[in-house]
Chains A and B, each alone.
Chain A
Amino acid sequence: MAQATLPRDDAHGGHDEHGAHARPQTNTGTTNPKLAMWVFLASECLFFGAFIATFLLYRGKSVKGPTPKDVLNIPFTSVTSFILLMSSLTMVLALAAIQRGDHRRFRVWVMATALFGLTFISGQIYEFTEFFRKGLSLKTNVFGSSFFVLTGIHGAHVTVGIIWLLSLWGLSLQGKLHVQNSEAVEIAGLYWHFVDVVWIVIFTVVYLIPK
C-alpha cells in the first residue's frame, strides 16, 4: 500500500485540545500503524490456519502412541485457557485506563495481562514436560509433530506479546506513554486479543473435539 499520509494540519500531532485523536490525514481515514496491524492479523489467519489444517490432516493417523487420549489433560488446559481469556479482559481495561489518562491503573492492568500470559506459558511448559515424560515428542508420531508445532508457535506468539506488554509497562513507568499515544496500547491489544482468539480455536479443535 502506498504511503498516503498527508501533512498534518494541527500542532498537536493529530490530537485536538482535549487529547482526543483528530481524524488522521490519510486516504483511509485511519493511521497507518493500526491499519498495518489489521493487515498483519489477516495474514496471521492464514499462518495459523495452515498449522490447524495440518493438525486436522494428521488427526487419528498416528501408527503408534501416545495418542491424544493418553496425554491430554482437559481440566488443566481448561484452567490455562480461562486465564488467557481473562488476560483479554485486563488488556481492554488497560486500554480504557490509558485513554482516561489513568496511568496507575494502566500499569496495574497491563502488568496483570502480562502475568496472566506468563501463567499461560508456564502451564504450556508444564504440559509439554508432562508429554515428554509420557513419551510424546516432536518425533514420536504425527500427533506429536502437529501438536507441538501448532501449540509451540502459538506459545511463541504469546511470549512476544508478553515482551511487548512489559515494554509498554516500562514506557509508562518512565512517563513516556500518554493519552496521545494510547494507539500504541490499542495496537498491542489487537495483537494480544488475536492470540487469544487463536487459542479459542486451538482449544476446541485440539483438546475438546472428540476423535
Chain B
Amino acid sequence: MSDTTLSDSDDQALLPGTAAERAAEDRAGLAAIAPEAVPLLPGEVVKHPSPFQYVMIAVVLCVLTGFEVAVSYMVGDIPDGLIVALLLAMMAFKFVLVASWYMHLRTDMKIFRRFFIAGGALALTVYVIALTTLHVWD
C-alpha cells in the first residue's frame, strides 16, 4: 500500500500492451478505453464502467437536474402534490444513479451495498417516524 519506491514508469510496465499501443488507445478517445484493460480494485466483483459510460451517466444527471429546476417553476400550473412527487422521484433516481454507477455499488461486493442501504434505510425510518410524531406532514 505504501510502496513509495516505484516510479511512474514502473506503473506503466505493469500495464498490458506497449507504450505505443496505450498511447494509441488514449488518442482514440474515452470510448475506446476498454474496462478489461484496468486492474480490479479490492472489493470489485465486476469491472467498473468505462469512462464513456461515466460521461453518459453525467449527461443523464444533467438532464434530470434541468427537469427538476423546470418542474420547480411550475408552481400554480400543476398541483403542488404532483410537483413534490416528481421532484422526489427525480431526486431518488439521481441518488441511485450516482450511488450505483459512480460509487460502484452495482459492480462491487454486496457487503458495501448492504451497509449503505442499512444506513440510509435506518435514517429514513427514524426521521420519518420522528417527523410524523411531530405532525410535520399535517
Contact = CB atoms under 8 A, between A and B. Distances in A.
A3 interface: no
A39 interface: yes
Contacts, number: 206
Interface string B1-19: 1111011101110111000
A181 B39 contact: no
Q: Is the interface of B mostly helix, strand, loop or mixed?
A: helix
Contacts of A204: 68, 87-88, 90-91
Interface residues of B, number: 71
A3 to B, nearest CB: 15
Interface of B: 1-4, 6-8, 10-12, 14-16, 22, 26, 33, 37-44, 48, 50-51, 54-55, 57-58, 61-62, 65, 68-69, 71-73, 75, 80, 83-84, 87-88, 90-91, 94-95, 98-99, 102-104, 109, 111-112, 115-116, 118-120, 122-124, 126-127, 130-131, 134, 136
Interface of A: 13-15, 17-21, 23-24, 28-31, 34-35, 38-39, 41-46, 48-50, 52-53, 56-57, 59, 74-75, 78, 81-82, 85-86, 88-89, 91-93, 95-96, 99-103, 175-176, 178-184, 186, 189-190, 193-194, 196-197, 200-201, 203-205, 207-210
